[in-house]
Amino acid sequence: MTTIDAPLGAPDPTTFSTPAPGSNLMPTLGGGWYSDHTIFSSEQEAIFERMWFCAARSADLATPGAFKKVQVGRESVLVVRAKDGALNGFLNVCRHRGAMLCTEESGTVKRHLRCPYHAWTYGLDGKLFAAPNLGALTDEAGARIDRTEYGLLKVAVREWLGYAWVCLAADPPSFEQEVMGAVTERLGDANAVDSYAVADLAVGRRIVYDVAANWKLIVENFMECYHCATIHPELTEVLPEFADGLAAQYFVGHGALFGENVQGFTVDGSPGLDTIPGVTSEQDRRYYAITVRPNVFINLVPDHVIFHRMYPMAVDRTVVECDWLYLPDVVASGRDLDRSVELFHRVNVQDFDACERTQPAMASRAYRNGGVLVPSEHHIVEFHQWVEARLRA
């Protein structure tokens, strides 16, 4: 067994197991990485609060005053559509005495955000607009309160693929490298994702899953297909190569080909919906899966896109919000989406059930030193090394 230093004061279970010399098995993280609250707290600070985090679908914030409350690491964050059409992000904390400004998950205000405690009121740009007796309030120097200085604390916001991404870091990392670059790295072409016009699609269905498992178990599950033949009978009927255990993400630029008699990415292989016009002949009848760390999975097929956003809430709880995106005309016309949605909904339920079965064992002495990865899972080693490096940094 090889022991690594526990990150940020975490206990000893943060270990890698070591296979026998000459083995083609690779070690995993120890169980403590998935069950220890100290490690999870470190991940909140070092990963979720420092990286670009996908927060909300932009179309859900279509009008000025529309807001969405999102948990990002340890922070509650508000994403708000401003009067000029731009999206702003703020920590959801009143600058007076720290009350949560918005308690609803989402909604629309007319012109201002108003704290329900003492009625301090902020503009959609975050600037302090009003407060009881505001004209009589002064700072330590005796000057009237600076409405900008006492405004809401801003966070960085970018819009891409029709989603709002936020970053809490004082000096955000490059969006082009960390987010766009992750998609390019997987597809092998900077322009490949443009074919799907994701920002122009409409949400045909949204399902929210509350998963009793650590976020890393969900990421690892999505990255590999060694389990596909065991728990995904419908998926392997549509994508026969997945029955061999190699996931699409194992190969740069590779998309899994539909089965010979499969007509569409549906639960029974029947025809799907209208093909997205920009999809190329090389992309047709293929499925591409992309992981954008730390919280996004993107699934591309010719007639729709399945977009997962993970919200790690606790060491053993992750909320996953999944959007099925189609051409706007398909959604507006009321076309039957059930067979299309059902395929990946079943995949999600099957995957999340597996993760929930795994989570209790992460605290067991049997998994204290971790397990092993077979050759078709070797790419997960890089994910483990990335997590460990982020915590050390």
Q: Is residue 13, in this structure, part of any structural domain at all?
A: no
Domain boundary among 131, 159, 187: 159
Q: Is residue 61, in this structure, part of any structural domain at all?
A: yes
**Beta-carbon neighbour count of residue 139 at 10 Å?**
11
Q: Is residue 303, in this structure, part of any structural domain at all?
A: yes
Total tally of structural domains belonging to the chain: 2
Look at residue 4 in the predicted model and tell me its pLDDT: 37
Q: What does the block give as tokens for 63?
A: 């009008």
- Tell me the CATH number at 65: 2.102.10.10
Considering the domain architecture, whether residues 66 and 146 belong to the same structural domain is answered as yes
Contacts of 326 (CB under 8 A, 6+ apart): 201, 202, 204, 273, 274, 303, 304, 335, 337, 340
Considering the domain architecture, whether residues 149 and 214 belong to the same structural domain is answered as no
Look at residue 130 in the predicted model and tell me its pLDDT: 87
Considering the domain architecture, whether residues 114 and 188 belong to the same structural domain is answered as no
Q: Is residue 225, in this structure, part of any structural domain at all?
A: yes
- Tell me the CATH number at 240: 3.90.380.10
pTM exceeding the 0.85 threshold for the entire prediction: yes
Q: Is residue 88, in this structure, part of any structural domain at all?
A: yes
The edge-to-edge listing of strands for the beta sheet with 163-167 is: 53-57, 163-167, 154-160, 87-91, 75-81, 66-72, 106-108
Q: What does the block give as tokens for 11?
A: 């206990």
Considering the domain architecture, whether residues 224 and 328 belong to the same structural domain is answered as yes
Considering the domain architecture, whether residues 151 and 58 belong to the same structural domain is answered as yes
| pLDDT tens, the chain, 393 aa long | 333 344 333 334 445 555 666 778 999 999 999 999 999 999 999 999 999 999 999 999 999 999 999 999 999 999 999 999 999 999 999 999 999 999 999 999 999 999 999 999 999 999 999 888 777 777 666 667 777 888 999 999 999 999 999 999 999 999 999 999 999 999 999 899 999 999 999 999 999 999 999 999 999 999 999 999 999 999 999 999 999 988 877 788 889 999 999 999 999 999 999 999 999 999 999 999 999 999 999 999 999 999 999 999 999 999 999 999 999 999 999 999 999 999 999 999 999 999 999 999 999 999 999 999 999 999 999 999 999 999 998
Q: What does the block give as tokens for 14?
A: 């943060």
Considering the domain architecture, whether residues 154 and 197 belong to the same structural domain is answered as no
Considering the domain architecture, whether residues 228 and 272 belong to the same structural domain is answered as yes
148-164 per-residue burial string, b: 16 or more CB within 10 A, e: under 16: eebbbeebbbbebbbbb
Domain boundary among 126, 159, 192: 159
What residues make up the domain containing 104?
51-159
Considering the domain architecture, whether residues 186 and 108 belong to the same structural domain is answered as no
Considering the domain architecture, whether residues 104 and 181 belong to the same structural domain is answered as no
Considering the domain architecture, whether residues 178 and 139 belong to the same structural domain is answered as no
Considering the domain architecture, whether residues 206 and 328 belong to the same structural domain is answered as yes
